[in-house]
Amino acid sequence: MNESEVRRIEERTPFIKDGYLIDGRDSINAEMGSITLKDIEFVKSAKLGKGSYGEVEQGILKRTGKKIAIKKIDKSSVANKKIKATLMREVQIHKKLKHENIIRLLTSIEDDKYIYLILEFASKGNLFYLIRNKKTLTEDEAFYFFIQCCAGIYFLHKNGLIHRDIKPENLLIGDDNILKICDFGWCVE
C-alpha cells in the first residue's frame, strides 16, 4: 500500500487520531520544563498498582497541581543485564510516543535506589477493573473502548512498533473516558 492509499483510508476512518513520534528536539521538557523528584509530591495513600519490578503510585507536580502516576522500580530488581536492557528499551520507545490513546511517559528519574517513570495519570483505572465492577459492558461501551484501543495500536503499528501485551489491565481510562494503552515493557520495534 502506498502513502496516498494509506492517507485515503485514514481520511475515511474517523477513529484514527493524529499522533506523532517525538524526536530528541521535541521533548516533554519543552512542554512542562524539567521535572525532578523535588518537584513531585508522592500521595502515600494512593497506590495505583503493582507490577513485576515495582509499584505505581499517585503523585502531584507541585508547581502545577497536576496529578501524575509514578512507576517506581527498585534498581535491585533490574540488576540482571537482560532485564535492564528491557527497561531501557521500554523507556526509549515510550518517551517517543505522543497519541491520545497512549499513556504519556513524561520523563524518567533515577536516585540511588529507584528508577521512577513519571506518567500521565488516568483517574478511572484500568479496563479490567471497570469490567469487573460493572460485571458487563454494553455493546456500545465495548465498541467505544475497542475502537480507541484500535486507534492506539494502529498508531504503534504505523510507526513500526508492536506492543505485545494488550490486555484489559494495560488499558487505562482517563477522566474523559478516553482509553490509553500503557505498559510498554514488551514493546519492540
Catalytic residues: 165
Give how far Cα 179 sits from Cα of 49, 101, 150, 183, Å.
17, 6, 10, 13
The span from the CA of 178 to the CA of 168, in Å, is 14
Query: In this structure, are strands 40-50 and 179-181 parallel, antiparallel, or unpaired?
Result: unpaired
Q: How far is CA 136 from the centre of its chain?
A: 25
Residue 66 — φ and ψ, nearest 5°? -75, 130
